[in-house]
Amino acid sequence: MPGANLTRVEAQERKSIVQYPIHYAVDLDLTQGDRTFVSTSTIEFDAKPGESTFLDLIADEVTKVVVNGADVDPNEVFDDDHIQLNDLAEHNTVTVTALCRYSTTGEGLHRSVDPSDGNVYLYSQFEVPDARRVYAVFDQPDLKAVFDFTVTAPQSWIVTSNMPVAAVEDLDRMTMDGTLADKPSETTKRWTFEPTPTMSSYLTAICAGPYAAWHTTYENEDGRTIPMAQYCRQALAKDFAKDVDYLFDITKKGFAFYAKTWGVPYPYAKYDQIYVPEYNAGAMENIGMVTIRDSYVFSSKVTDALAERRVVTVLHELAHMWFGDYVTMKWWNDLWLNESFAEFTSTLATAEATDWKDAWATFCSGEKSWALNQDQLSTTHPIVAPINDLNDTYVNFDGITYAKGASVLKQLVAYVGRDRFFEGINHYLNRHAYSNATLNDLLAELEETSGRDLKTWSEKWLEESGINTITTDVTSADDGTIATLTLTQSAPEAHPVLRPHRLAVGFYNEDTASGKVVRTGRIELDVDGETTAVPAQGKPKPAFILANDDDLTYTKLRFDDDSLAFALANLHRFDDALTRAVVWLALWDMTRDAELAATDFIDTTLKLLSTETESTTFRYALATLSTTVWHYTDPAKRADIARHVAEQLLTLAKNAPAGSDMQFQLASAYLSYGVEGDSAFADTVRSLLDGSLVLEGLELDNNFRWSLVRALASVNAIKEADIDAELKRRDTTENREFAYGARAVRATADAKRWAWDQALHNDALTNSQLEEVARGFAGTPSQALADPYVDEYFEQAEWIWKNKSFHMAEALLEGLYPGYADPAKLVEAGNAWLDAHQDADNALKRIVRGNVEASERTRDVAEFNMKLGETVED
C-alpha cells in the first residue's frame, strides 16, 4: 500500500526529539493545473540539538528543502514519503516546497468536477495521517502546533479553512514558468487565514471552489458572537436552501446543549459546515470547519432514518469540537476518547434537544447492532484498542470504537450517576484544554467526582474484548406469582470476562383497553458475577420480562421460554420504541447465532413492519430480513421464501399510508427481491417506472427512478442503452454513480466481469463510483455468478492492498467480496489464504478474516435452518 506507515514506537521517538513550540506556515497554490498543486510548508520547532528525525510528506516531487538557512538536495533527504532532518539545532526552521497531487479517492486534497455545470470543488480529508498529502508535517496527534494557512485560488472560488479569513488579495496569475498570464480571466486571489489555536495536524482543513454559501451567527455562552456558515455545490443549492435554517437551528441547539452539559462553551472562532461530494465518511470534525458528505443534501425523498442520521451526524461532529479537538488523544489507541464520546453525546443531544425523541431506539437498532456484529468476530478488540501503527488505526473506525464505546459510556453514566459523570467531564476538558490526554486522565477525573474506583471497571469494560450474555430464568409459585427471578451472565470462551452491569428489569403486560403491550413494573439493580437474584419474589408474573430495560448496558440477551414466545407473537404490539428495538435486536442476535429459526424471525419481522413507527428500527428490520432470506434460510426453500417475502413487502407498501416513510421504505426494500427470470417482479417494477402502477403518495423522483432502473438491471429487464438514456436525462455527480451501479448489478457473467475489471483497474473512477461498481458487482443474489470469483478474490487481495490507497483497498476488499458464493467454498479458500499469509499486514488480515467469518456464519446458520425443515406460513 503506497504511503509510509508510522509505528507507535516511531511516533514516540519523534515526540521525544521534536519539542514545543511548533509553528507551521503553509502556502498552497491551487492554480497550477488539474493534477497537482504547489505546497510550501515552513516549520519552526525546537529539538534536542544534534538529533535527527523526519517530516511526513506524500508528493509527486520535492523541489526545494531549506534547513536552518541551508539548501539541502531533495534527492538526498526525500525518500519513502519522508523528509529526513539531520543534525538538528535547538531552534529550527525548515521549508519544504513540493508538487502534491489532487486525489479522487477522498484522501488528502480531493478534487471533484461536477458534470452538471463543470464546476470544480476541492476539500481536504486528513484523518488518519493525510495532512502529509498536502504539506510537509509531523503528522501525529500529539505534536500539536499553530498553523498559518495561505491559499492562492481562482478568483471565482471561495476558500475556507479552520479559522476566519484575515485578508483576501487580488493577484495576477503566474504561469509555471514564472511569466505573467495574459488572460484577464486568469486572475487569482490569495486568501490568508488567522493563526489557528494549538491543534493536531489531522484536524487542519482547506476547502476551495465556487461553493454556494449561507451565513448566520450564534451568541456563545461566553459572550462571543460565533460566525456560522454552511456551504454546498451550486448544483445542490436550490435543494439545500430548503434545509439550511433547520440545520443552523440544530447546530445552535447543539451549542447550547453541550455548553450546559459540560460547562464549557464552544471554544473556537467560527463554525462552518461544508457539504462536499464523493466523501469517504459521514463527516469530519476539522476545527471550525466540518466537512460533511453531500448525500446529506436531500434532492429526493429519503427515509426518516436518514433525516435523523443527518441530525445525529451534525451533532456528532459538533461534539468533537470538545472531544477530539479541544482535548485530543495522544495516540490512536485512545481513538475511542473521540468517537465513543461523540457518538454517545450526539445521541443524548438528539434525544433531549431536538424533535427526534426516540434517538436511543435509533441508536439501539442502528449503531448497537453494528457493535454486536463486530464484537462477535475473532477480529474484535478492546474499546481501548492496541494500535501498533497507522494501518491498525484505519480499521479501528468500527462498531467497537463508535457504537460499543458509546453503549459502554451510557452504562458508565448509569453506573456513576449522570451529574457526577458530567462534572468529571467538565474537569477533564478544563484540565487538558488544547492538549492531549489518555484514558487514565479521564478516569482520574471521573473517580474524583463519582467516588467510585473505576480501574477495575475500566479493565473489564474498556480494556477487554468481547460481549457478555445475560439470560433470564424465572420460576412460578403455585399462585402464579414469581418464586425466583435470576439473571445469569456468561462470556464467550475466547473472552471469559464477566462484567459489572447497572441495569433495569422490566415487566410487560397487555393493556386491554388499548391492545398495546406496556410496561407495568421495573426493578433497577447492580448485576455482577455469574448469577444475580432479582428481588421480585411474590410479584405477579408478567407476560414478558426484559432484562436491560431502557437499554442501560451493553450485552446480549436471552429470554425465558414464556417471554420468548410472547415476544415472537407480540413484538409489533409493544408501545415503546426503545423496548421494541431492544427486543428485536435480541431476536436478530438469536437468529444469527442459530438459536432461532429463520422463518420465525421472518414472520415476526413482517408483523413488526406492519406497525413499526421508528424509522431506523424499520430500516434495520428490513436489512436483517434481507440477510436472513438470502443467506440464512434453507437453500432448498430460499427461492420460495424470497417470493413470499417480496409479495408481503409489496402488499404492505400498497396498504401503507400514502406518502409515509413506511410506504417509501417498503417499496424500496421490495426492489431488492428480484431474481433473473422473475417476470412478475420485472413487470411490477416496469409499471412503477412508466407510471401504469401508482402507489398514491410515492413520488417518482430522481433517486427512486434510479432505484427502479437498478432493480430492472438486476433481473436483466433493461438494456444498457436504457441506463445510458436515463443518465442522459440528467447527468450529475450522483446519477453517474447510480449508472455505474446499475451496469454492475446486471445478472450476467459479462456484466460481472466488466464490473470486476472496472473496480480493480479503472483508475479514472472516483472513490464513490468505485464503491457503486463494487456494490453492484456483489449485489446480485446468484451463487452461479458469484462462485467464479471466489479464487480470484483471494488471488487479488494482496495486490489490492499493495497497490491501492487504504480507503480504496478497503472499499475493494469489502465491496468485491463475493458473499453470495457457496459459503463453504469461501470459508475453505479464505482460511487457506489466511494460513498462507500469516506475515501479511494485520489490517489486511483483519478485513479478510471478517469476510471469511461472515461466510462461516452464513454456512452454519443455513445448515441449522436446513435441519429444522420449517417453512414460512402464509
Domain range summary for the chain, segments of one domain joined by +: 1-210, 327-461, 468-553+555-594, 781-874
Residue of 597, 455, 577 whose CA lies nearest to 517: 577
Ordered DSSP codes for 72-108: E-HHHHEETTEEEE-S--SEEEEEEEEEEE-BSSSSE
Question: How many Cβ atoms are within 10 Å of 593's Cβ, its own excluded?
Answer: 16
3.90.1150.10, 2.60.40.1840, 1.20.1430.10, 3.40.50.620: which CATH number matches 468-553+555-594? Answer: 2.60.40.1840
Q: Which amino acid is at 496?
A: P
Confidence of residue 872 (pLDDT cuts 50, 70, 90): very low
E strand residue ranges, 127-222: 146-154, 158-161, 165-171, 188-193, 206-209, 212-219
Return the amino acid letter for 753. Answer: R
Asked if residue 183 has pLDDT above 60, the reply is: no
Are the C-beta atoms of 265 and 259 separated by less than 8 Å? yes
Q: Percent of the chain, pLDDT > 90?
A: 94
Confidence of residue 554 (pLDDT cuts 50, 70, 90): very high
Nine-digit cell at 782? Answer: 446468484
End-to-end Cα separation, the chain, in angstroms: 52
Give Cα 690 to chain centroid, integer Å.
36
Cα(856)–Cα(618) distance, integer angstroms: 27
Grid cell in block for residue 765: 473512477
Average pLDDT over residues 705-728: 96
C-alpha cell at 157: 472560488
Confidence grade of residue 2 (pLDDT, cut at 50, 70, 90): very low
Distance (Å, whole) CA 342 – CA 462: 16
- Whether the pLDDT of residue 729 is over 50: the answer is yes
Alpha helices in 715-822 (DSSP H): 720-729, 733-745, 749-761, 767-778, 783-786, 789-803, 806-815
Per-residue pLDDT tens over the stretch 283-311: 999 999 999 999 999 999 999 999 999 99
332 SS3 class? helix
pLDDT digits (tens, 9 = 90+) for 22-64: 999 999 999 999 999 999 999 999 999 999 999 999 999 999 9
For residue 541, is it left (φ>0), alpha (ψ between -120 and 50) or beta?
beta
pTM for this prediction: 0.95
How many whole angstroms from its chain centre is CA 751?
29
pLDDT band at residue 186, thresholds of 50, 70 and 90?
A: low
Dist. CA 345–CA 355, nearest whole Å = 16
- Residues 248, 318: Cα–Cα separation, whole Å: 12
**124 in Cβ contact with 133 (< 8 Å):** no
Report CA dihedral (816, 822, 824, 827) to the nearest 10 degrees.
0
Amino acid sitting at position 815: G
CB 608 within 8 A of CB 389: no
Compute the distance between CA of residue 835 and CA of residue 523 in angstroms, rounded to an integer: 50
Query: Whose CA is closest to 558, among 489, 471, 468, 473?
Result: 471
Helix-then-strand count for the chain, H and E: 30, 29
Other beta carbons within 10 angstroms of residue 113's beta carbon come to: 14
**What is the torsion angle, in degrees rounded to the nearest 10, for the CA atoms of residue 593, residue 596, residue 602 and residue 603?**
-160
Give whole-number Cα distances, 688 to 27, 414, 609, 643, in Å.
Answer: 54, 50, 22, 18
Widest distance between CA atoms in the chain = 99
Distance (Å, rounded) from C-alpha 331 to C-alpha 348? 27
The answer to whether the 1-210 and 468-553+555-594 domains have the same CATH topology is yes
What residues form DSSP beta bridges with 91?
46
* Domain made up of 327-461: CATH architecture: Orthogonal Bundle (1.10)
Residue 582 host element (H or E): helix 577-592
CATH class belonging to 1-210: mainly beta
Average pLDDT over residues 139-161: 97
Q: What phi-psi label fits residue 699: left (phi over 0), alpha (psi between -120 and 50 degrees) or beta?
A: beta
Say what the pLDDT of residue 531 is. 98
Enter the C-alpha cell of residue 517: 403491550
* Torsion (CA) 78, 84, 90, 94 in degrees, nearest 10: 10
Q: Is the pLDDT confidence value at 182 over 60?
A: no
Q: Are strands 212-219 and 206-209 parallel, antiparallel or unpaired?
A: unpaired
- Residue whose entry in the numeric block shows the C-alpha cell 525518500: 79
Closest CA relative to residue 17, chosen from 50, 44, 56 = 50
* Known catalytic membership, residue 317: yes
Q: How many residues does the structure list for the chain?
A: 874
- Report how far residue 672's alpha carbon sits from residue 416's, in angstroms, rounded to the nearest whole number: 46
- 212-219 vs 225-232, strand pairing mode: antiparallel
- Arithmetic mean of pLDDT over the chain: 95
pLDDT computed for residue 874 by the predictor: 42
Position 752: which residue type?
A: K
Return contacts of 854-858, CB within 8 angstroms, 24+ apart. 854/819, 855/819, 855/823, 855/826, 855/827, 855/830, 856/823, 856/827, 857/592, 858/631, 858/632, 858/819, 858/823
**Of the listed ranges 92-96, 463-467, 545-549, 677-681, the one predicted with least confidence:** 677-681
Residue 828 one-letter amino acid:
E
Q: Cα–Cα distance between 455 and 122 in angstroms, integer?
A: 46
pLDDT on residue 873? 47
Averaged over 312-325, what is the pLDDT?
97
User: Residue 12 is which amino acid?
Assistant: Q
Structure-block grid coordinates of residue 733: 455527480
Q: Is the Cβ–Cβ distance between 17 and 140 less than 8 Å?
A: no
> Can you state the angle between helices 405-416 and 335-353, rounded to 10 degrees?
70
CA dist 607 to 294, 604, 612, Å? 35, 5, 9
Quick one: which of 812, 799, 818, 735 has its CA closest to 771? 812
- In Å, what is the CA distance from 102 to each residue of 59, 133, 153, 398? 10, 9, 14, 27
Of 57, 96, 111, 99, the closest CA to residue 79 belongs to 57
- The predicted-structure confidence for 678-701, as pLDDT tens digits, reads as follows 899 999 999 999 999 999 999 999
pLDDT at 118: 96
Pairing status of strand 53-56 against strand 271-276: unpaired
- pLDDT of the residue at 176: 43
**Which pLDDT tens digit goes with each residue over 200-244?**
999 999 999 999 999 999 999 999 999 999 999 999 999 999 999
Residues whose CB falls within 8 Å of the CB of residue 591, separated by 6 or more in sequence, listed in order: 597, 598, 601, 624, 628, 632, 861
Does the structure show a pLDDT above 70 at 177? no
Q: What is the pLDDT of residues 847-859, one digit of tens each?
A: 999 999 999 999 9
pLDDT at 5: 84
Could you tell me which of 106, 87, 96, 93 has the C-alpha nearest to residue 41? 96
Neighbour tally for 378: CB within 10 Å: 12
Distance CA 320, CA 359 (A): 19
Q: Which cell numbers in the block locate residue 786?
A: 458469484
C-alpha cell read off for 205: 482543513
Given the residues 127, 278, 308, 317, the one annotated as active site: 317
At position 546, the amino acid (one-letter code) is L
pLDDT mean over 563-579: 98
**Contact in structure between 153 and 30 (CB atoms under 8 Å):** yes
Task: Dump the DSSP string for 487-522.
Answer: EEEE--TTS-----EEEEEEEEEE-TTT--EEEEEE
